[in-house]
Amino acid sequence: MPGDTGEEDSVSNMSEDLRVADIKKVSDSEILEDEGDFANSTPAALEATQIKKETIDIDDDSISTTSEDRSCTPVAKRMVGTESHIPLEEAQNHFKVITVNDTGAGKHWSDNEVRALINIWSDEKIQQMLEGATRNKEIFEEIARRLMKRGIDRDWKQCRTKYKNLKYEYRALQKENEHLGNPRRKMRFYDEVDCILRRQPLGPSGWGCESSSLLSVSVGDVTVNTGSLSIKRKTWNDEVSPVPLKKSASENAILHFQKLLTERVHTVTEGKKLLLERLYKQEEMQDLNRTQRYADPSAIQQVPPAAPAVVAMAPAASDLKLGKKVNEGKTKEVFELPDMPGCVLMQSKDQITAGNAARKDRMEGKAAISNTTTSCVFQLLQESGIRTAFVRKQSDTAFIAAHCEMIPVEWVCRRIATGSFLKRNPGVKEGYKFYPPKIEMFYKDDAANDPQWSEEQIIEAKFCFAGLTIGQTEVDIMARSTQAIFEILEKSWQPQNCTLVDLKIEFGVNVLTKEIVLADVIDNDSWRLWPSGDRSQQKDKQSYRDLKEVTPEALQMVKRNFEWVAERVELLLKTKSQGRVVVLMGSPSDLSHCEKIKKACATFGIPCELRVTSAHKGPDETLRIKAEYEGDGIPTVFVAVAGRSNGLGPVMSGNTAYPVVNCPPLSADWGTQDVWSSLRLPSGLSCPTTLSPEGAAQFAAQIFGLNNHLVWAKLRSNMLNTWISLKQADKKLRECTL
């Protein structure tokens, strides 16, 4: 902020989504093979159907992301170049062309989601559980829970389906490999699945997740016409008509087709050999397990749930090549990344400045300190749900960010009046507190000393970045986001007994998504921090600004302040507060309702346990369960789920000092009558009622958020994102009307 916090140049960053089309061919005997995952077919059944159809669930992206005919029959057998049916005995030995359509198991899996699933699958414990289990629902529920902790919302059925698809495709290609060559050219994540199934650790090359998917092999989509039993293969320039063959020459026809297909694949892929080799060297994905992150803060790497697809392409740190210098500011440099189109490297400098570089000094180690601070702050905000350009920490002094076109406005949020605000507002005493926080805007212009601007000036400037015109809606979004970001960081510093006085941030427009995101950096140049609320203990860059004379001793004092902040900013990612939700259901028939509560709790990072007990039929057991959770000292919110006559909520409320909330699963027939058992309570009882499972989870989160800044941050971010979505919907509606 002008005259206050830092004045770094903005940066920008971009991503590209590379897609692929793969063609799958497998023999009939191969498809029926995958360890019981697929239905076994008898000769009698084959004779009855003539065309074998798979019984497994397959989602589109497990085989191909581009298909001209997604509605065709998944599997069929037919003779090349003939219009007649093939006897079933011969068809058994012929190849199959597989195309895939949606199974209804949910939206397609993104590369980041599949990568997270494989990472969990690679866990030795998970592998042992999968190998030794015959009924594996609980295992995939655990996998779904772990995915939810990473911000990926998938149920256990979707996880099991994807797991089966990966195994199926891998095993099919293993056998097909004898005829068609390198399976990596036909299957995404081949190396990773290969390591798991061979019980080998995932190495750096084991995360070349785009090694297959980036190879666009559009030989032609194969369409199947089950009525005429003919095959049509579209090529780039022409359409090859089927060649009539005698039935006795069927094997020759198949071999000819396979040879032709292989030649086409090699022709298309030859020019992409270097790209493929580079992508095979992709770095190992970091485990996002919070315990490991805290054990080694220097190894923190963030893979955001909503990060651009380009994040998946990141090569290993040792292989990262720098392109030309895009920009250079007072405290950082920005480089293109040839291996990561659409991304830039933000390289910090060992330099500290004040007064628009009127004062400038070299401070050894500042680059690493600033990079650590920025990486931790952006990780905290991303995990909370704030949209940022941050991709991940790359090294001690640099991080990777998505490409943005920067909006040349500094947004300042103040809780306490100090610094330049006092000069611009005579009569206001230092220490005056703003409720709500005060928002100010400054146009970035060093020559004019960053003049303060109003909302009207920003709108009238008619800025346009990455195709997005900055109007009233965009200004409102940035203003509301600035306040939310400040409040999240303010709440996060409170457990450290440190007051966040003010904050300066910048926004950019993501050139890929065309949305406004938090960009640039947030380091110790960007805020004022007062331990115990005492200005004399300030630990931010103001301690450098206040120096009357810069001496080596004075710079060491400033450096110690910066190190103090960098050490404690890592603690913002942790919380000492504990908490859990215990859902008590009156009957197992209420399980689906309770699972929704548990799923919603996971989005807030709150552990949730499900129990079955009836206050009518077993009150002694209900009270025993209550005492079990009261005895271990972990703060608990009880959610009572009981249909018909709700006795659980009132009984629990009358016998525990812990919060209790009713969430009855009402039926359409008796819901209006049943709900009164949750609403009309005897005196001395207090258990509120919400009909929404998500509402029950949010109620618990609001309770825990009072003492847990991580939960509170997610709640605050949800509020912001809901507000932004409504604002954008209103803008689109008005544009359509006009």
In contact, 116 and 126? CB cutoff 8 Å: no
In contact, 245 and 79? CB cutoff 8 Å: yes
The answer to the question of residue 390 being in a domain is: yes
- The residue ranges of DSSP E strands in 114-266, in sequence order, are 222-225, 230-234, 239-240
User: Which among 515, 547, 573 is the end of a domain?
Assistant: 573
Tokens of 198: 């061979």
Q: 717 versus 265: which is more confidently predicted?
A: 717
pLDDT tier at 252, thresholds 50, 70, 90: low
What is the amino acid identity at position 90? E
The answer to the question of residue 329 being in a domain is: yes
pLDDT tier at 455, thresholds 50, 70, 90: very high
Per-residue model confidence as pLDDT tens digits over 329-384: 889 999 989 888 888 999 999 999 988 778 899 999 999 999 999 999 999 999 99
Q: What would the mean pLDDT of 495-520 be, rounded to a whole number?
A: 95
What is the amino acid identity at position 7? E
Examine the domain organization and report whether 437 and 334 are in the same domain: yes
Examine the domain organization and report whether 548 and 691 are in the same domain: no
Per-residue model confidence as pLDDT tens digits over 34-43: 444 433 444 4
Q: Can you give the pLDDT at residue 713?
A: 98
Examine the domain organization and report whether 625 and 490 are in the same domain: no
Examine the domain organization and report whether 546 and 615 are in the same domain: no
d(CA 64, CA 25): 13
* Domain membership of residue 378 as a residue range: 324-573
As a whole-number percent, the residues of the chain with pLDDT over 90 amount to 48
Examine the domain organization and report whether 333 and 416 are in the same domain: yes
User: Which among 525, 540, 573 is the end of a domain?
Assistant: 573
The answer to the question of residue 138 being in a domain is: yes
Q: Can you give the pLDDT at residue 196?
A: 85
Residue entry with tokens 């847990």 = 708
H helices within 570-670, ranges in order?
Answer: 591-603, 619-631, 648-655
Q: Can you give the pLDDT at residue 36?
A: 40
Q: Can you give the pLDDT at residue 317?
A: 47
Beta pairing partners, 416: 433
The closest alpha carbon to 173, from 324, 288, 63, 268, belongs to 63
pTM: 0.61
Q: What would the mean pLDDT of 712-726 be, rounded to a whole number?
A: 97
Q: Can you give the pLDDT at residue 454?
A: 97
Q: Can you give the pLDDT at residue 626?
A: 95
In contact, 247 and 80? CB cutoff 8 Å: no
CATH code for the domain in which residue 660 is found: 3.40.50.1970
What is the amino acid identity at position 730? D
Examine the domain organization and report whether 448 and 472 are in the same domain: yes
Q: How many domains does the chain have?
A: 3
Q: Could you give the 3-state DSSP secondary structure of residue 316?
A: coil
The closest alpha carbon to 131, from 35, 207, 57, belongs to 35
The answer to the question of residue 623 being in a domain is: yes
Return the top range by mean pLDDT from 148-162, 322-336, 585-599. Answer: 585-599
Examine the domain organization and report whether 349 and 331 are in the same domain: yes
The answer to the question of residue 300 being in a domain is: no
Q: Can you give the pLDDT at residue 109?
A: 84
Report CA-CA distances (Å) from 258 to 15, 35, 84, 181, 370.
Answer: 36, 27, 21, 11, 57
Examine the domain organization and report whether 413 and 329 are in the same domain: yes
Examine the domain organization and report whether 392 and 537 are in the same domain: yes
Examine the domain organization and report whether 646 and 600 are in the same domain: yes
d(CA 617, CA 389): 55
d(CA 580, CA 497): 25
Examine the domain organization and report whether 528 and 618 are in the same domain: no
Whether the bond into 244 is cis, omega within 30 of 0: no
Q: Tell me how far apart the terminal alpha carbons of the chain are, to the nearest angstrom.
A: 38
Examine the domain organization and report whether 350 and 415 are in the same domain: yes
CATH code for the domain in which residue 530 is found: 3.30.470.20
The answer to the question of residue 260 being in a domain is: no
Task: Write down the mean pLDDT value for the chain.
Answer: 76
